[in-house]
Amino acid sequence: MATRTPEEVFAHHGQALGGEDLEGILEDYTDDAVLIVQGKVYRGKDGARQVFTQLLSDVPQAAWDLVTVFADDVLYLEWKATGGGRKVEDGIDTFVFRDGMIRIQTVVYTVQPA
């Protein structure tokens, strides 16, 4: 099986996130993934589970607005989300992909009332 491109990995990631499919989200992360979120370090699939459990709780059933810039194995993402009576208007992520998986991700966002 061919290794997925960063665009393919992110397309799956976005579909799983939009469907609030936590297990599907985790499939895209390496076992040794590093996520730096709001200044805190999370590691591996367990860390990713914590991060996305929180995000899905912060803006449940969200409508997402994404702007992506891919450069080789790096993705810069600006995003907005509205759901559950809350919104995020300043989401910024950076992804680093390795061998068809997400290896590193940074995330920062502010939750506000919608």
Q: What is the pLDDT of residues 55-105, one digit of tens each?
A: 999 999 999 999 999 999 999 999 999 999 999 999 999 999 999 999 999
CB neighbours of residue 79 within 10 Å = 19
Of the candidates 13, 2, 27, the one whose C-alpha atom is nearest the C-alpha of residue 75 is 13
Instruction: Parse the chain into domains and list their residue ranges.
Output: 6-113
Q: What is the pLDDT of residues 29-57, one digit of tens each?
A: 999 999 999 999 999 999 999 999 999 99
Which CATH number is associated with domain 6-113?
3.10.450.50
CB neighbours of residue 96 within 10 Å = 16
Confirm if 89 and 77 have CB atoms less than 8 A apart. Answer: no
Containing 57, the helix (H) or strand (E) segment is helix 44-58
Task: Label residue 18 by pLDDT band (50, 70, 90).
Answer: very high
Tokens coding 29: 């992360």
What's the whole-model pTM score?
0.94
